Amino acid sequence: MSAERPAAPAGTTARSRTVAALPAAWALLLSLLMLGPALGWGYVLSYDMVWVPQLDLRSDTLGLGSALPRAVPSDAVVAVLDAVVPAVLLQKVVLVGALVGAGTGAAALVAERSVAARLVAVTIAVWSPFVVERLLIGHWPLLVGYAVLPWLLVTLRGSDRGRPLPLRVPLLMLLGSLSASAGLVTAVAALAAGTRRGDPRRTLVLLGWLLVANAPWVVAGLVQPSSATSDPAGAELFATAGEGLLPGPLAALSSGGIWNAEVVPTSRTGWAGVALTVLLVVAAGAGVVRLARGRARVTGLAGLVVCWGVGYGLAVLSWAAPGVLGWLAANVPGGGLLRDGSRLLGLALPLVVVLVAIAVDGLLERLPDRASRVLVGGVLALVPLSLMPDAVWGVSGRLAAVSYPAAYDDARDAVSAAPVGDAVSLPFVSYRAPVWNNGGRRVLDPLGRYPDRPVVVNDELVVSGTRIAGEGPRTAQVQTALEAPSPEARAAALRAAGVSVVVVEQIEGYPVPAVAGTTTLAGDLTVVELGPAREVPVSGARRVAMATAWAAWLLLPTAALAAGLWRRRRRRG
């Protein structure tokens, strides 16, 4: 009879739990430190990040609008959730959750490493140029996908061939596919880490789950009335860009290189950006050397390499040959998803995190005692903060919560009372820079989401003086209507285009043509009713296609949860 193993002392158990919780605590601390004023009362409105107090389930949020489904399914998810959790709180949960999820996921990727290596992994994942730049440009669904990425890799690398895939995989896929770009990241990671040679059934299951998880935006893009191709000029404008002293490919090595210079942290444009890049490259190289010499092992290394190759390779391709991606955007439906060259760079982070963690452990092994290892490990975890200090406190105040003026609620009520038809926000431009938004921070027109009915938006973009054509046919219809010779003619043309109400905001430098109608609200925002508008029909086939896509999307988590309960009962039985 074997002797029983003595129980671990209570102090040892408590200490081990504390140590195990350190990466999560560090991830939370870094997230709070970075977001800072963004967690105050109100909404963070920055470029594409537009949250409103009440987002309704409208036809366009469900993928039945005329423009490309850039906010499908994220808008629909928010519309449902903010009926339970106020949007003003939901946004903060999402932002903090994305950063903490990315940090703890990075720690999980290197769970077999030392605590110091895990803390460094958390810092690299959270205090990253990619995170800061995508926060400022407002790509929150992409950041949610970035947070899901390491957890998906960890889950799939631990699943054995021939055994059923873990049922949390489809749930992670759903969470990681809240936008088209995020869905691509999730798909690459799932296939890179989840496929097994000689197991085609497993690959087919993964493909099926991915198709369903991305069905809303895929189907919406396929059945929308306009072409799903994009202006090729966008590929050159959105290509991976240099940051200060770093040319595009080198900026991308440290997860930077976004096309919009306005969202690049100042520290990235000087020697600090160079230092961070050099340190990451040297540390990753040291990790490669240890792997090559057999001093470390990594489960699922091939999948990590594939993810890095896709993410970094696309970033470099967009810098070196933007014409190739421009051709894809102009000729292949959905090809425009690839024109923002650095958007998929999140795929490169898992391999970097793993290699740097290996290098950290290699360095710590050379130190003589525990005290020196703790000291050096702590310093290493702080290095990225010291080289990008302006990411602190809402990226030096550039991310801050604000409140909407009361005029927005008044305008919503006035639009709600207007005759049947869609709304249009004037001036007819994509982005605004209202003074009340953190001192004039640029943001996608909030009036596109604020009313309880669809709003025809201008999907054209102007970047560095170059106009990038939109894809939606109704943009051109509204622009043509606004060019009519008289207010009465403009109103008639708008009604013919399906518009029954106009919301006007006076913005310096943007003249607004007068439109005849009944003014139901005057002030900071003016609401003008035009009268009943022509109904813009949505074909029955399109409705059926989208209903099928949403039904499959909803069925996926339901089936996964039900199967999980069945497996648990079967094990117990």
DSSP 170-223: HHHHHHTTSSHHHHHHHHHHHHHHH--TT-HHHHHHHHHHHHHHTHHHHHHHHH
Check if the beta carbon of residue 63 is closer than 8 Å to that of residue 219.
yes
- What are the two backbone dihedrals, phi and then psi, of residue 66, each rounded to the nearest 5 degrees? -90, -20
Rounded Cα gap, residues 479 and 548, in angstroms: 34
Quick one: which of 43, 274, 233, 237 has its CA closest to 138?
43
Tell me the per-residue pLDDT of 273-332, one tens digit each, with 9 for 90 and over.
999 999 999 999 999 999 999 999 999 999 999 999 999 999 999 999 999 999 998 888
Rounded Cα gap, residues 261 and 165, in angstroms: 42
Rounded Cα gap, residues 91 and 160, in angstroms: 37
Which pLDDT belongs to residue 11?
58
H or E element in which residue 95 lies:
helix 87-109
- Tokens of residue 218, six digits: 């895929």
Q: Angle at CA 154, nearest 5°, toward 281 and 199?
A: 110
Which pLDDT belongs to residue 284?
98
Residues of the chain under the 50 pLDDT cut: 1-5
What is the SS3 assignment for 447? helix
Provide the 10 A C-beta neighbour count for residue 460: 18
Task: Using only the alpha carbons of the chain, give its radius of gyration.
Answer: 25
Is residue 114 classed exposed, middle or buried when 0-12, 13-18 and 19+ CB atoms within 10 A define those classes? middle
Rounded Cα gap, residues 516 and 528, in angstroms: 8
61: Cα separation from own chain's centroid: 17
Which pLDDT belongs to residue 91?
98
AA letter at 324: V
Which pLDDT belongs to residue 192?
96
Question: Which residues make beta-bridge pairs with 456?
Answer: 424
Question: Which residues make beta-bridge pairs with 46?
Answer: 49
Q: Angle at CA 455, nearest 5°, toward 522 and 330?
A: 140
Which pLDDT belongs to residue 508?
82
Rounded Cα gap, residues 131 and 527, in angstroms: 38
Quick one: which of 275, 270, 271, 244 has its CA closest to 258?
244
Number of H helices, E strands in the chain: 22, 11
Which pLDDT belongs to residue 15?
72
Which pLDDT belongs to residue 537?
85
Q: Does the reported pTM lie above 0.75?
A: yes
Helices (H), 337-429: 349-365, 370-387, 392-397, 406-416
- With b for 16 or more beta-carbon neighbours within 10 A and e for fewer, the 496-523 pattern comes to ebbbbbbbbbeeeeeeebebebeebbee
325 Cβ neighbours under 8 A, 6+ residues apart: 235, 239, 317, 318, 335, 338, 339, 341
Tell me the per-residue pLDDT of 422-475, one tens digit each, with 9 for 90 and over.
999 999 999 999 999 999 999 999 999 999 999 998 888 877 778 887 777 888
